[in-house]
Amino acid sequence: MNLMTNEVREILPHNMREAFDLIVEQKVLGASNHIAMVGDMIEAIALRGKEEKRPVSQVIHEILTVAEFFIATRGEASQAVSNAILLMIHNVREYAGIDMESAAERMIEDKNSYAATAADAVRQCVAHGVKLAEPMQKIFVYDYSSTVEKFLRGLKENGKQYEIYIAESRVIDGGRPFVRACQEAGHKIKFIPEAAMMYYLRDCDGVFMGAETFYPDGTGFNTTGSDIVGLICGYYKIPLYFLTPFIKLDIRPVTGRRKNLVYNDLKDKLTAGWGDDIDKEGIDFVTPELVGVEPGAIRAFITEIGVIPSGQMYGVSMEYSKNLRGEL
């Protein structure tokens, strides 16, 4: 960890530092999971401030420091993280003039209000996805998403056994977390290396992915390899669906800005099985974490307001953004 990361980690109550490490070290995946964990950190800071009778101004500073860290790091890859954190703390500065006990209650209420709204949005996404998948038999999923996991579990409601094709993403091992969910839901599982996607995808009725972020024009961002999935779907004419609540909208391209790709050094992951007889120095292992899937490759986005074709995302996205800015 660098100096800034350590400084932010030290701000947190001791019981939240493991969660901090899990996000920073990418040992827990999924924007929704990260948002929930940051929310837990905000609540823990507020409760500690109340219990230790810390100055409200100090607690506000601690919350803002942690929030700004995750907006600048995790939020750079996923706009959903930034949007959610901003919603959770949007009133925090206004509590500077009240007592710590009252301030803590309001800080936690703000966090819980967002959590309840977000959970309802995900439930609606999943319900629309489950209904859409009812006539399907073989479903392909790529890269871990907590929303897609809920969708896989929710498929039980259709009263039949699905065959789920899971491609392991070597970039972040994003396939493995789906296995338990599929087992518990009673699905038949086909687990493949991502190099075999071209061979197996042609047998599938539909492909479902989560979105770390999406643009109003219908571009969806997901883990590296997702662009290949999109190309294969286009080649075989297989419908590709992005299952995502609108909180993951990134409005920056409308104002002339673009998403900065985040790159990870995969040296340790890719060389885990190498022997000492190979010199690793001087080899470039840096790889982008997320890539964009073009709107033309995506059949539709499954959102809390329904199934929206990628080409029709602009209008509803701009309306959502307008409402979001009003809340902020």
In sequence order, what are the residues at sequence separation of 6 or more whose Cβ sits closer than 8 angstroms to the Cβ of residue 260?
Answer: 76
Return d(Cα 175, Cα 167) in angstroms, integer: 6
Which pLDDT score, from 0 to 100, does residue 190 have?
A: 97
In sequence order, what are the residues at sequence separation of 6 or more whose Cβ sits closer than 8 angstroms to the Cβ of residue 247?
Answer: 80, 83, 84, 118, 121
Which pLDDT score, from 0 to 100, does residue 326 have?
A: 54
Phi and psi dihedrals of 165, rounded to 5?
-95, 120
Return d(Cα 220, Cα 227) in angstroms, integer: 9
Is the four-CA dihedral 136, 138, 143, 147 of positive or negative sign?
Answer: positive
From first to last of its 328 residues, the chain has per-residue pLDDT tens of: 565 888 999 999 999 999 999 998 878 877 778 999 999 999 999 999 999 999 999 999 999 999 999 988 887 767 778 888 988 998 899 999 999 999 999 999 999 998 888 889 999 999 999 999 999 999 999 988 889 999 999 999 999 999 999 998 766 666 788 999 999 999 999 999 899 999 999 999 999 999 988 999 999 998 889 999 999 999 999 999 999 999 889 888 888 877 777 788 888 888 888 888 888 888 999 988 889 999 999 999 999 999 999 999 999 999 988 776 654 4
Which pLDDT score, from 0 to 100, does residue 171 have?
A: 65
Which pLDDT score, from 0 to 100, does residue 328 have?
A: 41
Please name the residue ranges forming H helices in 237-308: 267-270
Return d(Cα 246, Cα 80) in angstroms, integer: 8
Which pLDDT score, from 0 to 100, does residue 325 have?
A: 60
Return d(Cα 73, Cα 62) in angstroms, integer: 17
Residue type, 249: L
